Homo-oligomer: A and B are copies of this chain.
């Protein structure tokens, strides 16, 4: 990495953090709540609205059902919260759906859960950001045309924040989350207080009417189920706390469980309050303007929260801006739950060899940087593909959530059964199993409803994505296992090569070529030749002449290239000279390196291409002999003394000391006394030996 690239990276993500700093990133409850519960709490900003939008398809009489559907949703929410509370206790190391189904339902179920969770995390970012921006432009209608750009901007900010590390985001998240909770509660309280005193607030859309009429029979049932399924978005994010148990301060499980219950209670009150208040204020909202009648000219439909806060506090009042501002912030930041969860899940999957191992490595700032970047990119892609529409994105959201809910809670039921088999049934255990059993059953039913009512509205994409992810993960696993079997060291060891044939690639007679020739002779190979690929007879003739004139004591071999390509003739030549299985060909490639990236563009990349191809030839090793041009600054030590160097002599099981104190490094690495080779004395040092003249 050149300096020109390193400086902006450091400005953006901060200085690298030592591995030993990992312990510092534990969260107290007051910070864990905003970090892990912003998703679940913030989903109330759109859950009621999604119920209303579906019911509007059935006209005015159906919309009156809103509080009842909200009641069904909060009942389910209470069940799921209680169910997950038990997961916190049972899995103090993080009881994500993946871990729980892995332990109880086996490998395949756990991979389905993992695939569903990955889809969820992506959708959490996309939906939260889209809804946050929708609320933001409800307060500033002039920005409405730039919704998609605003979404991308928010995602970028989140990505960078998360690349900097968890702890900082915890602090940054506290104010918006608590601000949202307080401002919405104040709004609900003020609204109901006014209503009790006879001054019921009136929504700006109260005078509108609906064009649709109430359906009958099966269509009625389906509409109610669809509205319920849409309202279930309120449940998204409940699992975040149980995933995050290990990052809580001690006592971890107790703190996590309290946080979870707090979150459930706050969410239930909020969901119910918003549903009742929007019915009282006679709020009208619809997916398309065609569904509304009596619309005044220039009417711009705003979000449910914007209409409620305008009705309670007055439009463009301080209270209105507080609610809209905090809603935007908590939604934008709710996406952070996913930025916490996705990279950790991906790293666990990488550790288990179901995902590329690059996802399992912590970056400079102790976070799983690759996972963060992938999450941000995919979510941004979805926002662009769906043009930032919350309603369209939400169709993709709920399905994955309920797949992982159902699997996770079914896993818990199995967990309790196994527990009981080992220790016998106790009333407490039966109670625990019942709670999880009812939770699993309820979420499975909802999963069925979601699948039926949402399939054609976009959920089919998730029905495709989850199996695809599932098979990709299986395939990755098979690959890693096959590789690791092949890499396993055999008991027989490896035979030392008997002869080394050096081949030095030469294009012109210049300093880098002479250096490569000198280095090649220094290893004292059994045979040595210089190899020139003839693409231009005039230059080849010049090379031959210079070769003779300089009297170079290495033979020059010329192969012609009919197709002006360098790689194939070299490979053909090597394929011919490589004879015995115990022989090794060492190819020396002179390379000159320049300092600036733009200078790189001015030189052929043929060496890189050739080196890549040579890696596929058995019995060949490839040696680059670099020649640094003046613009290429040599490597300079940056953190002298930062590393501990410990030499381990063979035939002893000395463990390396883990502390970071610098240990002086000997000028020459230690050689083993008594080892038959290498021995420096074997080689006569010939100080005056020259190559070329």
Contact = CB atoms under 8 A, between A and B. Distances in A.
B510 A557 contact: no
Nearest to A599: B479
A485 to B, nearest CB: 10
A25 to B, nearest CB: 15
A622 interface: yes
A630 interface: yes
Interface string A588-606: 1001111000010111100
A266 interface: no
A330 to B, nearest CB: 33
A604 to B, nearest CB: 6
A523 interface: yes
Contact of A560 (B494, B557, B577, B643): B643
Contact of A555 (B550, B599, B670): B670
A501 B668 contact: yes
Nearest to A350: B602
B487 A512 contact: yes
Interface string A98-131: 0000000000000000000000000000000000
Contacts of A584: 519, 522
A628 B483 CA distance: 10
Interface string A66-108: 0000000000000000000000000000000000000000000
A604 B357 contact: yes
A212 interface: no
A673 to B, nearest CB: 10
A526 interface: yes
A635 B523 contact: no
A374 to B, nearest CB: 12
Interface in A491-517: 491-503, 508-515, 517
Given A494-B518, A510-B488, A617 B635 contact: yes
A671 B555 contact: yes
Given A518-B497, A615-B624, A643 B556 contact: no
A650 B560 contact: no
Given A518-B497, A680-B526, A616 B635 contact: yes
B648 A544 contact: yes
Nearest to A19: B564
A626 B620 contact: yes
* Chain A: number of interface residues, binned into ranges: 35 or more
A363 B642 CA distance: 49
A669 B616 contact: no
Interface stretch (A45-53, A340-348, A682-690): A682-690
17 contacts: A362-B564, A479-B602, A483-B594, A487-B510, A494-B691, A527-B680, A540-B656, A548-B652, A554-B650, A557-B647, A560-B643, A560-B660, A572-B637, A572-B643, A577-B669, A586-B623, A618-B634
A16 interface: yes
Given A364-B563, A614-B624, 20 more contacts: A19-B535, A356-B602, A357-B602, A357-B604, A476-B602, A482-B631, A488-B510, A489-B513, A492-B690, A494-B517, A498-B685, A502-B678, A527-B668, A541-B656, A544-B654, A555-B671, A558-B656, A559-B644, A572-B642, A614-B626
A464 interface: no
A572 B511 CA distance: 27
A199 interface: no
Interface string A318-336: 0000000000000000000
Contact of A573 (B508, B645, B655, B656): B645
**6 residue pairs, one from A and one from B, having the closest CB atoms:** A493-B692, A529-B669, A526-B680, A487-B510, A615-B626, A496-B689
Nearest to A661: B560
Interface string A559-588: 111111100110111011101001010101
Contacts of A669: 501, 503, 527-529, 555, 557, 577
Interface string A452-469: 000000000000000000
Contacts of A529: 647, 669-671
A658 interface: yes
A521 interface: yes
A672 interface: yes
A646 B544 CA distance: 11
Contact of A693 (B493, B522, B579, B616): B493
A683 B162 CA distance: 58
A17 B561 CA distance: 11
A521 B593 contact: no
Contact of A558 (B16, B563, B645, B666): B645
Given A499-B680, A511-B490, A521-B677, A651 B586 contact: no
Q: Report which residue of A602, A667, A670 has the largest number of chain B beta carbons within 10 angstroms of its beta carbon.
A: A602
Nearest to A585: B669
Contacts of A249: none
A640 B562 CA distance: 12
A524 B678 contact: yes
Contacts of A582: 687
A465 to B, nearest CB: 18
Contacts of A357: 602-604
Nearest to A645: B559
A676 interface: yes
Contacts of A526: 678, 680, 683
Given A356-B602, A519-B497, A626-B620, A560 B644 contact: yes
